[in-house]
Amino acid sequence: MSTCAAPVGGVALAGVDAGNQAVIQGTVTRDGQPLASAYVRLLSASDDFVGEVVTGEEGTFRFFAADGQWKVRVLASKGFTAEYAVNAEVGKVIDLQVQA
């Protein structure tokens, strides 16, 4: 039983239309396979916590953000941690591929 309140991800990434949103999404894999139960955090450029999701069976995650600089931090099993700086823009989709 998980005590974390982060919603489970697993969103379908194909064909997303950003429209009037800035989209930050991606897939977490290990050894070429999707990695479920990885925590993906969205942080402001100054490291303020904004949101968190847990990847589902597809290893996917998605955030909707405002224009500007963001950080995506991925935490997975076996001690894996990685951080990615992204520049979100309304109408664009940023697609991260994370190899855990």
What is the domain range of residue 41? 22-88
We report the CATH number of the domain holding residue 33 as 2.60.40.10
**Residue with more model confidence, 15 or 40:** 40
Q: Alpha carbon of 73 to those of 10, 16, 19, 42: distances in Å?
A: 17, 22, 25, 7
**93 touches 45 (CB < 8 A):** no
Token pair recorded at residue 15: 């064909």
Is residue 31 in some structural domain?
A: yes
Closest CA to 38 of 11, 56, 12, 62: 56
Query: 6-39, pLDDT tens digit by residue?
Result: 555 555 555 566 677 899 999 999 999 999 999 9
pLDDT tens for 49-74 read 999 999 999 999 999 999 999 999 99
Our count of domains for the chain comes to 1
Tell me, yes or no, whether 5 lies in a domain. no
pLDDT at 61: 96
10 burial class (0-12, 13-18, 19+ CB within 10 angstroms)? middle
